[in-house]
């Protein structure tokens, strides 16, 4: 597989990830995480040891987004660091549009692994969050 093909696959992965959030489909979001996996943000780490733990967290996150006036998410891949053909680190700029409020702007770095199911998230780290 060429580097360009891997880049294309990863961009398609994030398109699916963003679409799942835009549809507020927490089950689809959760299926894009490896088992185990985790999220680091604001100095805390949340470990997902099972599919149920991931699904519960994503459900709560989608509910919280809805309560905050979520309209849609969009992203831009800033950097993509390939680590062979089965591992990568992606640094993403996110923008969350909200009803009658300024958008949220933040960055997230994703450690990815390619499995028989395709690309999955091992760890995401949210940083430089600007919730105005």
Closest by Cα among 84, 110, 103, 129 to 11: 110
pLDDT in tens, the chain (132 residues): 899 999 999 999 999 999 999 999 999 999 999 999 999 988 999 999 999 999 999 999 999 999 999 999 999 999 999 999 999 999 999 999 999 999 999 999 999 999 999 999 999 999 876 555
DSSP state of 86: S
pLDDT at 7: 95
pLDDT at 131: 54
Question: How many domains does the chain divide into?
Answer: 1
pLDDT of residue 129: 64
Specify the pLDDT at position 42.
87
CATH number for position 84: 3.10.450.50
Residue span of the structural domain in which 29 resides: 3-130
DSSP reduced 3-state for 27: helix
């Amino acid at each position: 597989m060429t580097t360009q093909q891997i880049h294309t696959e990863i961009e398609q992965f994030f398109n699916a990830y963003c679409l799942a959030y835009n549809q507020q489909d927490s089950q689809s979001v959760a299926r894009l995480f490896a088992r185990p996996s985790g999220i680091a943000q604001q100095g805390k780490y949340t470990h997902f040891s099972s599919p149920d733990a991931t699904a519960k967290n994503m459900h709560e996150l989608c509910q919280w987004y809805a309560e905050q006036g979520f309209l849609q998410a969009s992203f831009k891949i800033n950097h993509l660091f390939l680590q062979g053909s089965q591992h990568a680190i992606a640094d993403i700029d996110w923008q969350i549009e909200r009803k009658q409020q300024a958008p949220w702007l933040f960055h997230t770095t994703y450690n990815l692994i390619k499995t028989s199911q395709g690309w999955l998230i091992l760890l995401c780290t949210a940083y430089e969050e600007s919730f105005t």
